[in-house]
Chains A and B, each alone.
Chain A
Amino acid sequence: MKARNGAEWVVLLRQIAETQDTEAFTLLFQHFAPRVKAFLMKSGADQAMAEEVAQEVMVTVWNKATQFDPARASVATWIFTIARNRRIDMLRRDRRPEPEELFWGPEEEPDQLQVLALQQESDQLIAAIADLPEKQRIMIERAYFSDLSHSEIAEETGLPLGTIKSRIRLALDRLRHSLS
């Protein structure tokens, strides 16, 4: 399947929002649904639950397509936040309070240059994470997948907490540097 960049996913999601385009949805599904399922399984969900929740997340993508703002996030980031919130409901039965949305004014059209810049930056971030030394990449992945606190990561790997913190910081500094 052809690899798409951030701006192309934005176009497909807009087609879902504007014309309920099932072909556009199929392309998004084929790319993101397996990733959401893998994300959930790596976060501790079993096969059946991850399959069920991955489908629910993609139904939410369809339902909330009109609410996606391409000036504020990439499609991958937006789907990550939906999957993360479902994972919290599912694994912990905790509520997740969210900050109130900023009031952006009536039906404001996002600035196209800003949209393009943000989507390109997101593509660069994906490439930068893929290029990290393996140890650093794995540390960040575990923080996001495993639902582990920093101190729990330290216990599991036997590494002192300070080392974990500095690794994540180092990895993020590298990301910021590679993006600047």
Chain B
Amino acid sequence: MITHHLSDKLLMAYSAGSLPEAFNLAVATHIALCDECRARLASFDAVGGAILEQAQDEAFALQDGALAATLARIKAMPPVTKPTPRHAQTGVLPEPLAGYIGGDVETIRWRNIGGGVRQAILPTSKAATARMLYIPAGVAVPDHGHNGLEMTLVLQGAFADETARFGRGDIEIADEDLDHQPIAEPGEDCICLAVTDAPLKFRAILPRLAQPFLRI
């Protein structure tokens, strides 16, 4: 059961469309797993609908002939075919994450970053970075703080840090105030999606030296 959810602030920013792509990916993937946040998002979208309803402004009126031009575009198009509904996915990775990776977990091309921990950086716009993290059961990720915002979504296994335990579907939202050392639980290896809008601050000197090469 999911116990760690998205904040109102993040849901509203996702609804308004003001988040960088990497954050959108983490928000959308959490929502794919979490009915509660899906319902909360619907209420933020409804606020957007109400804002649109009141957006009319004589200063921004349509050009003459806009309706005729739009109807002409519609007539020029081939008839619409109804899309076939996709079936619910069964792998570890839900959409839209599976689409970014091009398949499920076995298609991820991991790179070792030390201590058995592996990562794969996903292609997104540069405003923020998205990476998959693979943490073997029982292994700790180096102790780190944050310059900006970090969101970590668990897709397989579980990890715990100083604040709480996070299992599949749970999302941890960390900012400047949190220094933490996530440790994967014994049992299943842990796979996460981690997004950051600024480099992490590692405590130990060695990870700090490696940081520019690993892009974390």
**CB pair B17 A96 closer than 8 Å:** yes
Interface centre among B13, B29, B70, B89 (most CB of A within 10 A): B70
**CB pair B16 A97 closer than 8 Å:** no
The smallest C-beta distance from A78 to any residue of chain B, in angstroms, reads 7
Question: Measured between alpha carbons, how far is A143 from B56 in the docked complex, in Å?
Answer: 17
The smallest C-beta distance from B65 to any residue of chain A, in angstroms, reads 11
- Once A33-B62, A36-B52, A79-B52 are accepted as A-B contacts, the answer to whether A59 and B96 lie under 8 Å apart by CB is no
**Majority DSSP secondary structure for residues of B touching A:** helix
Residues of A within 8 A of B24 (CB): 94-97
The smallest C-beta distance from A76 to any residue of chain B, in angstroms, reads 4
**CB pair B69 A55 closer than 8 Å:** yes
Binds A, one of B77-85, B104-112, B165-173: B77-85
Question: Measured between alpha carbons, how far is A77 from B86 in the docked complex, in Å?
Answer: 23
**CB pair A33 B70 closer than 8 Å:** yes
**Smallest CB gap from B54: residue in A:** A130
**CB pair B62 A54 closer than 8 Å:** yes
The smallest C-beta distance from A114 to any residue of chain B, in angstroms, reads 13
Question: Measured between alpha carbons, how far is A151 from B107 in the docked complex, in Å?
Answer: 38
Q: Which of B27-70 contact A (CB under 8 A)?
A: 28-29, 31-32, 38, 42, 45-57, 60-63, 66-67, 69-70
The smallest C-beta distance from B157 to any residue of chain A, in angstroms, reads 22
Question: Measured between alpha carbons, how far is A84 from B19 in the docked complex, in Å?
Answer: 12
Find A79's partner among B15, B29, B49 (CB 8 Å cutoff): B49
**CB pair A103 B85 closer than 8 Å:** yes
Residues of B within 8 A of A42 (CB): 55, 57, 60
Question: Measured between alpha carbons, how far is A143 from B63 in the docked complex, in Å?
Answer: 27
- Tell me if B12 counts as interface (CB < 8 A to partner A): yes
**CB pair B86 A37 closer than 8 Å:** no
Q: How would residues 125 to 160 of chain A score, 1 for a CB under 8 Å from any chain B CB and 0 otherwise?
A: 110111000000000110111011110000000000
The smallest C-beta distance from B60 to any residue of chain A, in angstroms, reads 4
**CB pair A39 B52 closer than 8 Å:** yes
Interface centre among B31, B74, B86, B95 (most CB of A within 10 A): B74
Residues of B within 8 A of A25 (CB): 71, 74
List residues of A whose CB falls within 8 A of some B CB: 22, 25-26, 29-30, 32-39, 41-42, 47, 50-51, 54-55, 58-59, 62-63, 66-67, 72-74, 76-81, 83-85, 87-88, 92-104, 121-122, 125-126, 128-130, 140-141, 143-145, 147-150, 165, 168-169, 172, 175
Q: Name 24 interchain pairs, CB-CB below 8 A, sorted by A.
A: A34-B62, A37-B61, A39-B51, A39-B55, A51-B66, A55-B66, A59-B70, A63-B80, A74-B49, A76-B49, A97-B100, A98-B96, A99-B32, A101-B85, A103-B86, A103-B88, A122-B49, A122-B50, A125-B50, A126-B53, A144-B48, A144-B51, A147-B17, A149-B13
* Given contact pairs A55-B70, A73-B42, a sample of 12 additional A-B residue pairs in the complex whose CB atoms are under 8 Å apart: A22-B71, A37-B61, A37-B62, A39-B51, A55-B69, A76-B50, A85-B17, A94-B24, A97-B25, A100-B96, A144-B47, A144-B51
The 9 closest A-B CB pairs, nearest first, are: A77-B49, A100-B95, A97-B96, A76-B49, A99-B31, A99-B32, A38-B60, A80-B48, A80-B52
